[in-house]
Amino acid sequence: MDAMKVGLLGLGVVGGGTWNVLRRNGEEITRRAGRQIEVVSVAVRDVAKARARVGEDVRVSDDPYAVVDDPNIDIVVELIGGMTTAKALVMRAIANGKHVVTANKALLATHGTEIFEAASAQGVMVAFEGAVAGGIPIIKAIREGLTANRIEWVAGIINGTTNYILSEMRTRGLSFEQALKQAQKLGYAEADPAADIEGLDAAQKLTLLASMAFGIPVQLDRAHVEGIATLSAFDIVQAEHLGYRVKLLGITRRCNDGIELRVHPTLVPVSSILANVEDAMNAVMVSGDAVGQTLYYGKGAGEEPTASAVIADLVDVTRLHTADPGNRVPHLAFQPESMVDTPILSIEDIHSAYYLRFAVNDEPGVLAEITRELSLAGISIGSMIQQPPEQGEATLIFLTHVALEKNVNRAMVAIEAMSFMRSTITRLRVESF
């Protein structure tokens, strides 16, 4: 059979990895896919550098439209990242009847609905395994492997940079700033680390996972997002004393009134598998009513792990491109006409257990006042630590049972107004799955 002809937009980290792996494993990939997958054209900024890398048989251009408009190309692989240009190129490729493979989570979490609609109308596939959790085939698992299930929740460590920083803070007692610097030195964090440490990257991935788990449109703007920049080493140590480890989790859960969609530092039991996912590794846990809890673990970023996902998509497209479009795997797991508009819950309306740390004057009656206020708000306490006072300041830490967040907020406002409070309350969420 004829080779599938691929045009590559971008030859950076993931693009370069895709090129390398396709060359190194080309023979084995062909044995699986049933036909050759051949990169025939690349678009890059630096043509001379790319030419040196890909040789004379591949078209090299600095105009990405030369790729997406090339009638010879079956699949366009978008790996330039960013939003505006990437979107225009992807839409043009679709309009030209080409299949698209992309690892661009920001693009799909923002414009996914429009892009998938256009693709469905044109009868082409937009595959994006590389957009979530690198080489871990988590999109395939949710979209195809767990189709029997009513999915209850998905919770994952889906940002390797922050997981590395949290691992270093815990095991080596570093501050956030120290751990971040080290992550940057080792290439785990970018020079501008904002998207990672503020949780946006995780929120983009979680948004896609939630759509596929529950059949809802992508709604990044409805996600509640907290990063790890304000997390203190002290709380990580206290959590450990209580039997918990702090992870930046993306959590999406189906509740009676809607769907929770939230990214924030989370205490998980030390003995849980998620707690033991260390360094820059990713893991996603999926709970379904039939299968129970399943977990998927691996490298969530990097040149070849992400290339592994991109090429898996290329093989999928190669295997499926002759199939009747109406019978292919739907982009967001559910048939487009079967998507539902279950609302995303406000963070005020979620249920969670909580870690609450109070810095208070070391004086009588404080504990009684705090516990009374929590009790008034309907919050019951699971366990407590009181630290020995220093310079007249005592530290109280509570782990609560599951409560409604707006009740916790109400109690926090009331307690923070009390005269014995030395500073604002530190609040972290706790999930035991």
Which residues are at the interface with a second copy (CB under 8 A)? 1, 17, 21-22, 24-25, 28-34, 129, 134-137, 140-141, 144-150, 215, 273, 276, 288-299, 304-305, 307-312, 315-316, 318-324, 326-330, 333-335, 338
Nearer to a second copy, 199 or 215 (CB): 215
Min separation Cβ 342 and a second copy, Å: 12
In the complex, what is the shortest distance from the CB of residue 432 to a second copy, in angstroms, rounded to a whole number? 16
User: Exposed e or buried b for every residue in 250-262, given b needs 16+ CB within 10 A?
Assistant: bbbbbeeebbbbb
* C-beta of 160 vs 193, nearer to a second copy: 160
In the bound state with a second copy, the residue whose beta carbon lies nearer, of 28 and 56, is 28
* Two structure tokens written together for 141: 């698992």
Nearer to a second copy by Cβ, of 20 and 61: the residue is 20
Shortest CB 161 distance to a second copy, Å: 17
Q: How many angstroms separate the CA atoms of 244 and 251, rounded?
A: 17
- Identify which of 242, 410, 311 has the alpha carbon closest to the alpha carbon of residue 15: 311
State both tokens at 186.
């080792």
Q: Is 177 exposed, middle or buried (0-12, 13-18, 19+ CB in 10 A)?
A: exposed
Provide, rounded to whole angstroms, the least separation between the CB of residue 19 and a second copy. Answer: 12
Known catalytic membership, residue 205: yes
What value, to the nearest 5°, has the Cα angle with vertex 69 and ends 12 and 320?
80
DSSP string, 69-105: T-TT-SEEEE-S-SSHHHHHHHHHHHHTT-EEEE--H
Q: Closest distance between a second copy and the C-beta of residue 30, in Å?
A: 8
Least distance to a second copy from the beta carbon of 127, Å? 11
Please give the full DSSP string across 239-303, using - where no structure is assigned. HHHTTEEEEEEEEEEE-SSSEEEEEEEEEEETTSTGGG--TTEEEEEEEETTTEEEEEEEE-SSH
Rounded distance between C-alpha atoms, residue 132 and residue 129, angstroms: 6
Residue 90 identity (one-letter amino acid):
V
In this structure, the strands spanning 126-127 and 99-102 are parallel
Which residue number, 203 or 332, has a Cβ lying nearer to a second copy? 332
CB of 315 to a second copy, least distance (A): 4
Task: Give the integer Cα–Cα distance in Å for 239 and 426.
Answer: 12
- 10 Å CB burial of residue 349 (0-12, 13-18, 19+) is middle
Residue 185 phi/psi, 5-degree rounding, is -60, -40
Candidates 87, 98, 140, 205; catalytic one? 205
Neighbours of 350 (CB within 10 A): 21
Which one, 57 or 337, has the nearer CB to a second copy?
337
Of the pair 83, 291, the CB lying nearest a second copy is at 291
As a residue count, the chain comes to 433
Query: What residues are labeled active site?
Result: 205
